[in-house]
Structure 1
Amino acid sequence: MASRLKGRFQWPALRVKQVPSAFSGALGVSRWSNIDLDPIRREDRKWSVWALIAYWFSDAFNAATWEFAASILAIGLSYKDAIGIVATAFLVVSTVISLNGATGVLYHAPFPVLARAGWGFWGSYVAIISRVILAMFWFAIQTLNGGDVVFVMITAIWPSFADLHNGIPASEGITTAQMVSFLLFWLAQIPFLYMHPNSLRYLFITKSILVPICFIAILIWSFRSTGGTGGPLLSSSARATIGGSAYSYAWLSSLTSVIGNYATLSVNMPDFSRYSKASVKWQWLYVPMLPVVFTFISFIGIAATSAGQEHYGQLDWNPATLIANWPNRSCKFFAGFAFSLAALGVNISANSLSAANDLAALFPSYINIRRGQLLCALVAWIMVPWRILATASGFLNFMSAYSVFLGPIAAILVWDFWWIHDMKYDVVALYHPEGIYRYTYGINWRAITAFVVGVAPNLPGFINSINPAINPGVGIRPYTFAWILGFTITSLIYVVLSTIFKPTETMIPRAILPDEVYDGEVGESVTIEGKAFGDDVERGGSGDNDWKKEEGELRVI
């Protein structure tokens, strides 16, 4: 009876495509993988060094980077402090991005799969669920921000659109015109969410050409329109208004805030680097490149906002508001288009693809990358981001502060690969829960312990950020440098525990790479039942993999 019910509710028509491989198991029926989670085959690795550079240029040129300095200047620091903080933050986070990105280049597997090596199969769900919550939330918020720029584009062509009759209650935090703009931007994303990640590199290349032109043009306008001074924020009198310990804590808090914006990518870089056909050494290009690029864009944001304050009498860090003030409708439209393209690129690279990989790992039988991205887009409506931004500041603070959990997660990924396992993973075992990465009931207690200890010091400040009425006293201070503190403590605890209680069952003499498996140098046998699959299954497969049924076993040859 139980087996009948199980078969009845499996919904075979909804299952995603499975391809027989040593990774997905016999005839592709593994609970832990599907075709999108399997390592990328050699012929499917399309991302060159230039494509990876374009990806980062695409990710950097967006409104969020523009606004980095907003909160920094608001708490009393100067624009020079802001520039130094952004540069330092990206020097730190780009190092972690490079280290974790290298794992994807070597094993061509996504973050949710690679996390199993250090966390265990069930333990990895702690890292996966933490990231998918952030990714889906920020996709909704960034879609709303993209809608704001679409609103500017429409009003540049049709000025009376701003006066469109509004039938939505003010309590909802959105007007009919803004809802239409949100819908249009949401719809514009759908074709790109449907595309394979290999094809998305063309989007990133296009964005990396067009958007920087717009940003540099705005920078030129900022100085030319203010007689070369750049406006009040860049004047010689614009100095920090705080000093002493308050200055130090403000500096560290701002550093943590900037790092937190890219804490997700410090974890999920393998989701993109797995498509790379370049060698691991090119991942180190990010360390000098990212601080320069992001600091430059942050400076553009400061200069443009400063010029906007001089011209329009208000200090507003939202680029959509600045563009809306321009009298030239053509400039307004094309600038709006550039910012909408910027929002589109970063929403896919930082949010929807991340969520899709996580959802595929949680439900591999029914969700692949394409379905995961479309599901993420549907959830954007369920989250009603306009209401969140209008009424739920506590929830917004919670999601922003939630990145404190990503520092410890990134630490475990870095140290497990580079130090504990000395870059030696068995890529086949990463897909089989009864293999060497089983640990204790699928959980590596060392990683869970290090994670909990790393997060604990930041919890008082984390709670205070959500509800300021709760005052933990001096307990709030560690939260000032939450990401760095969490990363450091977790690193120390995880390395010590893994050294004293060495996971010897996971140690292998040499790495087992996916190309060896696909080329047949390393084989994997999977026992199958003839009745379950039929006697006609003698040989199959695709690409480099061929399968042969021999005496009740399906063997890769």
Structure 2
Amino acid sequence: MSFCQRYLAPNSWALKPSPSSLAPPEYQRWTNEDMDPVPPNRRTWSTRNYITYWISDAANAPTWQCASSMIAIGLSWRESLAAVAIAHVIIAAVMVLNGTIGARLHVAFPLLNRSSFGFWFSYFSVLSRIILAMFWFGVQTYTGSECTYQMIKAIWPSTGRIPNRLPESANITTVGMMCYVIFWLIQFPLLLVSPQRIKYLFTVKAVIVPLAFIIMLVWAMVRAPPRVSLGPQKSTVAGSDLRWAWLSAMNSALGIYATVAVNIPDFTRYAKTERAQYVQLAVIPIAFTLVAFCGIAVTSAGQVLFNETLWDPTKFIDRAWGVNNRAAAFFASFSFALASIGTNISANSLSAANDMMVLNPKWINIRRGQIICALIGGWVVCPWEILSEAQGFLSFMSGYTVFLGPFAGIMITDVSFDLFSVPLGTTSQIHYSTGLFIDVRWTSRRCTIHEGGIDIGMGLTGAP
């Protein structure tokens, strides 16, 4: 067989059906091995893994930026912290409720989505989730590239003097684009680590990144004590403007992990037991509020020290240590870069890959989906445009919760009314679950999920 026949012919890229796939042969085009229920030997996530996962995911630049950018639009630090805390209490409740069905049935979000929205309409919610994950992938990659710039400049200060050949309207410099390429290349092979093994990266990140954040917080409080930086700090808006600004800020905080709240079954499907994921209800609001406080306190200290609202942590690092303490600048930037990689893998790349599988399981598995996300999310999206100003960043995060909230709400309602336990072989377009709720399937092809396996259309299967 020639090279072209083996690697360039379209059929050579088709995935070979796995003999362990649960779907009947006539339905193989709708599924593949990665979409099967997770077998018992691969259910490896314990309560400790979910704790370290959320501590590591909370410690990232967007959480820091979201809270500190609220100060930039006029809220006080107390109002900003309250917005973050309340938002993540809501998110935590949604995570646990939506994650329960994944931990119980061990199947991915796209399959559960088919059961809630019907076979064909589920593609709309899946596509929406894919697009948002790709946008966030670009944002995290750009944040990581800024950290890469600070690390390179800490080693070679002359990097800061490289002339810019790009126009001002590009909102990125020549050296910025160079660092973006470097970070993307470093990040790419790490995206391909299997979900079962990636938990070890979260454990490492859960130790290194929060420690770096605490060190930055202590430094800021020593240089600008809270009575000086936080004490006098008040909101610069009042009346209805203040109320709308606060609601917008809370909605923006909701937007940070609204995507994961929808597809959390992609992670809870690996839980050893259903109870293992319940710890999210406590760890999410605590971890995210503490990281938000670090961002708020350090940003407020920056206002006192530099007379500037440095809501972007990389800009704060540059102003604080870029010249006088290059070692501190390097390690602080490294921690944010590690945070960006970890979050990109868990919340963006892996989530987008799980969703893309459902679009065409014959051609896309988890690894190929991650590659597609890295290419489109990394290069088609222009994250430097989104992050160019605080208001634009908040608008980006708050805008798409309009779609994700209803998606999660419908799935949670289905769980609450036991609509995932449709009897095998049911073909009616309208079925009754408890007598209190009617679930209408707006499509002739239906997918139902139950504890025995997956029913696609008229294909009846079993699961261990």
The TM tier, using the shorter chain, reads 0.7 to 0.9
The answer on whether the counterparts of 2:249 and 2:394 sit within 8 Å (CA) in structure 1 is no
The answer on whether the counterparts of 1:142 and 1:343 sit within 8 Å (CA) in structure 2 is yes
Whether 2:176 is the aligned partner of 1:238: answer: no
Identify the residue that residue 5 of structure 1 maps to in structure 2: none
Counterpart of 1:200, as a letter, is I
The answer on whether the counterparts of 1:147 and 1:182 sit within 8 Å (CA) in structure 2 is yes
The answer on whether the counterparts of 1:116 and 1:437 sit within 8 Å (CA) in structure 2 is no
Identify the residue that residue 149 of structure 1 maps to in structure 2: 147
**Alpha-carbon deviation of 1:425?**
5.6
Identify the residue that residue 542 of structure 1 maps to in structure 2: none
- CA gap of 1:150–1:437, structure 2 versus 1, over 3 A, is farther
Q: Among residues 244, 265, 287, which one is paired with 2:260 in the alignment?
A: 265
Residues 435-450 of structure 1 aligned to structure 2 (within 5 Å): 436=426, 439=429
Counterpart of 2:168, as a letter, is A
Identify the residue that residue 359 of structure 2 maps to in structure 1: 362
| Distance in 2 (alpha carbons) for counterparts of 1:173 and 1:267 | 32
| Distance in 1 (alpha carbons) for counterparts of 2:244 and 2:388 | 29
Identify the residue that residue 512 of structure 1 maps to in structure 2: 451
Whether 2:347 is the aligned partner of 1:353: answer: no
**Alpha-carbon deviation of 1:500?**
5.3
**Alpha-carbon deviation of 1:37?**
1.1
Q: How many percent identity over aligned positions? A: 41
Q: Among residues 234, 242, 245, which one is paired with 1:247 in the alignment?
A: 242
| Distance in 2 (alpha carbons) for counterparts of 1:497 and 1:241 | 53
| Distance in 2 (alpha carbons) for counterparts of 1:395 and 1:251 | 15
Q: Among residues 365, 370, 373, which one is paired with 2:370 in the alignment?
A: 373
- CA gap of 1:311–1:437, structure 2 versus 1, over 3 A, is farther
Q: Among residues 294, 303, 309, which one is paired with 1:309 in the alignment?
A: 303
- The alignment's TM-score, normalised by the length of structure 2, stands at 0.87
Counterpart of 2:18, as a letter, is V
| Distance in 2 (alpha carbons) for counterparts of 1:398 and 1:222 | 29
Structure 1 unaligned runs (5+)? 1-8, 430-434, 447-494, 528-553
SS in 2 for 1:364: coil
SS in 2 for 1:46: coil
Identify the residue that residue 76 of structure 2 maps to in structure 1: 78
Residues 347-496 of structure 1 aligned to structure 2 (within 5 Å): 347-379=344-376, 380-386=378-384, 397=395, 400-421=398-419, 424=421, 436=426, 439=429
Alignment deviations for residues 470-520 of structure 1 (CA, whole Å, 9 cap, x no partner): xxxxxxxxxxxxxxxxxxxxxxxxx999725777x9999x94245xx9xxx
Structure 2 unaligned runs (5+)? 1-7
Whether 2:437 is the aligned partner of 1:499: answer: yes
SS in 2 for 1:16: coil
Aligned length, in residue pairs = 448
- CA gap of 1:496–1:409, structure 2 versus 1, over 3 A, is farther
Identify the residue that residue 3 of structure 2 maps to in structure 1: none
| Distance in 2 (alpha carbons) for counterparts of 1:300 and 1:217 | 10
Alignment deviations for residues 281-320 of structure 1 (CA, whole Å, 9 cap, x no partner): 2322222221111111111111111222222221111110
Counterpart of 1:13, as a letter, is S
- CA gap of 1:29–1:77, structure 2 versus 1, over 3 A, is same
| Distance in 2 (alpha carbons) for counterparts of 1:241 and 1:161 | 38
- CA gap of 1:165–1:238, structure 2 versus 1, over 3 A, is closer
- CA gap of 1:500–1:143, structure 2 versus 1, over 3 A, is closer
SS in 2 for 1:24: coil
| Distance in 2 (alpha carbons) for counterparts of 1:256 and 1:36 | 33
The answer on whether the counterparts of 1:389 and 1:396 sit within 8 Å (CA) in structure 2 is no
Aligned residues: CA RMSD: 3.4
**Alpha-carbon deviation of 1:276?**
1.5
| Distance in 2 (alpha carbons) for counterparts of 1:262 and 1:417 | 21
- CA gap of 1:437–1:195, structure 2 versus 1, over 3 A, is farther
| Distance in 2 (alpha carbons) for counterparts of 1:310 and 1:395 | 23
Structure with bigger RCO (C-alpha 8 Å, 6+ apart): 2
The answer on whether the counterparts of 1:420 and 1:498 sit within 8 Å (CA) in structure 2 is no
Q: Among residues 309, 314, 322, which one is paired with 1:320 in the alignment?
A: 314
